[in-house]
Amino acid sequence: MTLADSSRSLESQVITWDEAIDGATITLNGTNYQVALTPSAITYEMTEQGWKQVQTISIAIRKTLLVTRPAKDTALTWNGNDFFVTATSGDAPHELTWTIRARRVI
């Protein structure tokens, strides 16, 4: 086993642990995915329509489950609420997950 293989194995174990602790199911493009999800508190933000409540979520999803990087503004559902992707990271070949940031305006 190489150092890179050992590192990937450890990262995979951490991902499994995160999914167990912060586990959630999201729906993206009509497919349900098991992910590690961290929600933010609901905050207020000034929009063109005045003050609105906004919530963001951070999602870690394995690339083996979701092969293609989600595009900005892609809709996803969590806990019955509709969110839109604002950013996705994880493009490096050695990274095992996509980290997706999404938000909703209430």
Q: Which stretches in the chain have pLDDT values below 50?
A: none
How far is 34 from 48, CA to CA, in rounded Å? Answer: 35
Angstrom CA distances, 28 to 9, 84, 103, stand at 27, 10, 14
What integer pLDDT is reported at residue 47 of this predicted model?
85
What integer pLDDT is reported at residue 75 of this predicted model?
98
In total, how many domains does the chain have? Answer: 1
Of 27, 37, 38, 29, the C-alpha closest to 80 is: 27
Place of tokens 């951070």: 58
Q: Counting runs of H as helices and runs of E as strands, what totals does the chain give? A: 1, 7
Domain with 78, as residue range(s), is 3-105
What integer pLDDT is reported at residue 13 of this predicted model?
53
How far is 51 from 44, CA to CA, in rounded Å? Answer: 6
